[in-house]
Each structure stands twice: as C-alpha cells, then as structure tokens.
Structure 1
Amino acid sequence: MTLNLTKAIVHNEGCDLHYWHQGTGPLITFVPGGNGHGRQYYPIMNALSHKFTCVTFDRRQMSASKVKVNKKLSPPQQARDIRAVILAMGHDKSIIFGSSSGGIFSFQFAHDFPQMVDHLIAHEAPTSCLLPDASEIFDWSLHLVEVYETRGLEEADEEFSASLEGYDAEGVPPCATPEPWNKQNFWDNEFPILLGYVPNLWRIRENGTSIGLMRGIRCKDASFARATNEQEKVLGCPRFDVPGHHQGFEVEIEAFLPYFLDMLDTLEKRKKGHTD
C-alpha cells in the first residue's frame, strides 16, 4: 500500500498536537519516544493500514508540535496528549505501541486511562530503576546531565548515543532524523525527569490491562533492553525478543512486523481466555 497519510491537529493543554493517520479498522496509536517525531512510525503504519487505522503524532514541544515556551516534562500530561489524539480520531479506545520513553508514556496512559486501552505493546521502555544495577545507571545518567550542562549538547548526546547498540550494524538503514530542536528539548526538559520515573506498574497489573513487552535483539544488554525483563516480572505479561535495534520497528520492518502481529494475536487470545 502506498503511504497516503491524512494530517490533522488537535489542541490540548496549550499545545497544537500535529498527528497523521491512515487506514481502516481498529485503531493503533504509535507513541514516539525521546526523538519526539511521529514519522519514525510511517513504515509500520503503512504496512498495517490495510487492516488497522494507524495514527501517530509529534509529541508536545517536539517537531511540528511546538509551543511558545517549553516546560519540564510531565508524563501524566503526555498521557493526556495520547488521549486527546485518540478522541480526535473519533475512538474511545486504542491499541497502543510505544517505544523507549514512548513506552513509559504508554504505561502512564494505561495507568491513568485503563478503559481506553485495547492492548498495549511497550518496546524497550527505559525503566532502569527496576534493574539490579539501578544505582550505577542513575549515577551515569546524572553524569550525562552534568556533561550537558558544562560541556554542551553535542558531547552529552555523543556519550548517550554510545549506549545505543546495533545502529551501525552492517546492512541496517539509518533512521529518520528529528528536527534539531527536539534534542535540545530532550536534554533541557525530558531526560532529567525520566531518570527515575516509572509509572505504577503494579496498579496497571491490578487493572488487568492487556500488555506485551518487546526487547530488540541488536540492543544486547543495554539497560533499556534489560528493563523489559524486570517489567515482565512485575506485569506477568508476554515478552518477545524481536528483530532490530532500539528503532528496529522503523528500519527492519519486514523482520519486525511478524513479531508485532504475533504479539497482537497473543494478547487477543489471552484477553479471550485462551492459553494455547
């Protein structure tokens, strides 16, 4: 199917959220992570739009969804932005896919609006404070904040990017490049908030929300990949090792897509009470 996106805007809490959608059928909402822009999801949306309505958006203060004055990240506000996009699409619930910090915002959405979640798939949400080596990771993250504040964005981003395994693997295409102000907003307003933020996963499990987890095999033992194992212990939900690096859903779509569909099928069977 040829990419044929419809663009729209919904205003929510002082921000014009720019969103794009395509297809017909049950709604899947794709939530961006720290890079902020929705176009990383265009390939998977195009592949799925023959049987799903697919929507993504630029998160507030990122790409097209700019505001006059940037503010510190609020994960609950990010969840309300997801809700605004879903409602603007004319739906009262959605399948949710969120990667990286988009997975954290998706967990937050499931916590705050459980009745609006059909299924949720979190791809390498970086809840590093759940890990056995959480103290070391937290100290390293604080070090990155200090590097940013004293030596600037380029050096902080270079050191941070070194933790992203698999992007330079042979034959793996490059990812879509975010606008330059996205990185500035990420380091100014998002990274310091995300250091230890974890939505209440225990409450999400109590609510019986349908959740699946994904860990990219190219990421090896990166903290955000290992975090999925700890999330599985808390949530008691399916977890798949899937092709690709931290953005494998974007650049290795042919290998990734069968796992995505298998996860949806697994979650649907569990929801209906089947265990086979």
Structure 2
Amino acid sequence: MATIHTLDVPGAHLHYEVRGAGPLLFVIGSPMDAAAFVPFADLLASDHTVVTLDPRGISNSALDDPEQDSTPELRADDVAAIMDDLGAESADVFGSSGGAVTGLALVARHPARLRTLVAHEPPVLELLPDAAEQRAWVDDIVESFHRDGVEAAWTKFMVSSGLDQIEGAPAAPLEEPSSQAMANNVRFFAHELRGTTRYVPDIAALTAGPARVVVGIGVDSGNLSTYRTSVALAERLGTPPVEFPGDHGGFLAHATEFADVLRKVLAG
C-alpha cells in the first residue's frame, strides 16, 4: 500500500507515492507517471522504500503555468525537493527513458544526493553522430502534433524511435485515450519532448563522483534509437552498459526479472 503525498515547489504541485521499506529508491519516468510504475514498484517494495512520482505537468502534478516547458533540470530539482521532503540525504535512482535524462541532470546538479543512478535507455540524441538529423526528426514530430494532432505525432514518434519495429507494437494507441492520457500526450509533445532529447549530459560531472552512474540497455532494444544513445553514453562514461530483460519497456513486460537485475546493479 502506497502513501500519497503532495509537495509544493516553485511553479508546481508534485504528486508522489511511497511504498515499502528499506533503502530509498526513486523509480522515475518522463512523461511516464507514478501509476504506470505500480506493478514494478510493488515488486521492489519488498526490500526498498520506493518513491514514484508524476513529473511536473503530468497527471496529478499540476503547474501554476500550464505553458511552462519541462526540462531535465527542472525535473531534477523536483526529485531533490522530494528527497528534502522525506528528510533523505541521498537515494538510489532508477530512471527510464526521459526519467533517465532527469537522473543524469540530477547527478550534474545534486551529485551528493545520489548513491547510484541506473539510467535505462536515456534518449540523449545529442550524443549521436547524426544528432542534427535526429533533431530534425524531433522538430518534425512536434510540428506534426501542432498541425495534425496527437495521433499523427505518435505515429512519427514510433517510426523515428524505432518502436514501430518492436513485435506487436502498434503505430499509434489502439484505444481512445482517457482525457488524462490525452492531456499527458499534449504535454509531452508540446512542452517536453524537445527539452528532453536536446539535453547534453555533463560527462565530467557524471564521472567525477560521488554518485555511481550505470547505463542500462534492453537486450531486445537493438532497433531503437535509445539503444544507440545508451551505447554512446556508456562509451563516454568509460563503463559498459548493463543489459536488462526486454526492450525499452522491459520493466513492464518482464517486471520480475528486470527487478532482479536492478537489485544486483544497486548492490554494486
């Protein structure tokens, strides 16, 4: 059973959830919210105090200014503020996708607050040799959203990321999204996608310590742009990536096995 918290921070009112007992572990996404992580968080809560959250502007984390763009730096400061609210000096962090980028910014801005960051497939497109082409893809997706709507943008997003190549993956959502899911989609395309994918990791800060940074990569993610970004980041950090079960969403489809690998990584 999770306890629900609301924390006021500059410009936002953050929703976060705490479950379990043991070492403090944040499990974060972006735009993925706390509700989507529940099955995975429940598994980890058997031996960790697990914190999940709705990133600012997503689901229950309301903004004072709905037009404010989401950046990894803002989201990193939000995680640090939640640590403060919990009275925690430090924590481990598992970040998925945009949440992994949040984690990278957290290490750069608040290095003493992390013990280990597991950055699972961060879409740090600026590290790729074809970064300019990738940037153009993102711009085209955002322009498609403003011109043609969410479904058109999702279709282009799936193709550009390689997610359309995953077996069984639809080109766009098969069901009519809820009003909240639609609002989150709008937020993602209008105010988050560019800021997340254009974040440039501070390699010097990531390798300076005291936080340990581990790059996670799905064993089935070979066709994804996030496979390439994960390899590129690991090369710059000088440490091999750690393989996790499944693909970009392996913590959903293979939750038990994924949690077991994560525990081993955190144990160091």
Q: TM above 0.5, one fold?
A: yes
Per the alignment, residue 51 of structure 1 pairs with 47
Letter in 2 for 1:73: S
Per the alignment, residue 27 of structure 1 pairs with 24
Aligned counterparts of 2:212 and 2:93: Cα–Cα separation in 1 = 10
Q: 1:154 pairs with 148, 151, 156, which one? A: 151
Deviations 1:64-86 (A, max 9, x none): 11224220123221111001111
- Superposition TM-score, scaled by structure 2 size: 0.89
- Structure 1 stretches of 4+ with a deviation exceeding 4 A read none
Percent identical: 26
* Structure 1 residue 42, shift from structure 2 partner: 1.5
* Structure 1 residue 167, shift from structure 2 partner: 6.3
- Superposition TM-score, scaled by structure 1 size: 0.87
Per the alignment, residue 251 of structure 2 pairs with 249
Q: 1:96 pairs with 93, 116, 123, which one? A: 93
* Structure 1 residue 124, shift from structure 2 partner: 0.3
Deviations 1:88-146 (A, max 9, x none): 22211000111111111100001111110011100000011111222222222222122
Quote the RMSD (CA, aligned, Å).
2.0
Per the alignment, residue 272 of structure 1 pairs with none
* Structure 1 residue 188, shift from structure 2 partner: 0.9
Alignment check: 8 A CA contact 1:211 1:238 kept: no
More displaced 10-residue stretch of structure 1: 40-49 or 20-29: 40-49
Letter in 2 for 1:93: S
Letter in 2 for 1:137: Q
* Structure 1 residue 217, shift from structure 2 partner: 2.2
Aligned counterparts of 1:73 and 1:254: Cα–Cα separation in 2 = 31
Letter in 2 for 1:32: G
Letter in 2 for 1:69: D
- Alignment: residue pair count: 257
Distance 1:51 1:195, change over 3 A: closer
More displaced 10-residue stretch of structure 1: 109-118 or 219-228: 219-228
More displaced 10-residue stretch of structure 1: 233-242 or 25-34: 233-242
1:168 aligns with 2:182: no
More displaced 10-residue stretch of structure 1: 128-137 or 57-66: 128-137
1:63 aligns with 2:65: no
Written as runs of structure 1 = structure 2, the 5 A alignment for 1:1-276 is 4-35=1-32, 37-70=33-66, 71-162=68-159, 163-164=162-163, 165-166=165-166, 168=168, 179-265=181-267, 268=268
Alignment check: 8 A CA contact 2:122 2:230 kept: yes
Alignment check: 8 A CA contact 2:124 2:229 kept: yes
Letter in 2 for 1:110: V
Aligned counterparts of 1:130 and 1:8: Cα–Cα separation in 2 = 36
Aligned counterparts of 1:125 and 1:112: Cα–Cα separation in 2 = 17
Alignment check: 8 A CA contact 1:166 1:244 kept: no
* Structure 1 residue 222, shift from structure 2 partner: 1.1
Deviations 1:2-57 (A, max 9, x none): xx11111111113111111111111001111223x112221222112122100111
SS at match of 1:228: helix
